[in-house]
Structure 1
Amino acid sequence: MLFLVAALLLLGVAMGSVAHAPLPVTLVAAAVIGVWLTVFAIRERRARHH
């Protein structure tokens, strides 16, 4: 339960900062996070197969 509260608090902080950031900065940050998550997913999938 504490983890859920912390996650929601962090999400609120992130969404609040995105609301004040310019659109290009937000899009670049979203792209970087998307690439990072994709690389992480690929690495995890390869680790499970080996």
Structure 2
Amino acid sequence: MIFLVAALLLLGVVLGSVAHLPGPVSLAAAAAIAAWLAVFAVRERRGRHRRHQREGV
């Protein structure tokens, strides 16, 4: 429950700050965050895949 409250509070802060930024700046920040998340997901998937290969699963 506390995690949900913290997530909603963080979402409110982020949306509030984005509302005061110009559109192109918000889009550039969103693209940078999306790219970072994509790189993170690929690295996690590769790491998990390699770990399973070493274990023989």
Q: Decide: shared fold, TM above 0.5.
A: yes
Structure 1: which 5+ runs fail to align?
Answer: none
Cα RMSD, aligned residues only: 0.5
Equivalent pairs, count: 50
- Could you list the runs of 4 or more consecutive aligned residues of structure 1 that deviate by over 3 angstroms after TM superposition? none
Percent of aligned pairs with the same residue?
72
TM-score, scaled to structure 2: 0.84
Structure 2: which 5+ runs fail to align?
Answer: 51-57
Aligned partners of 1:33 and 1:49: how far apart in 2?
24
Q: What is the CA-CA distance between 1:22 and the residue it aligns to? A: 0.4
TM-score, scaled to structure 1: 0.95
Larger radius of gyration: 2
Q: What is the correspondence of 1:31-50 to structure 2 with a 5 Å cutoff?
A: 31-50=31-50
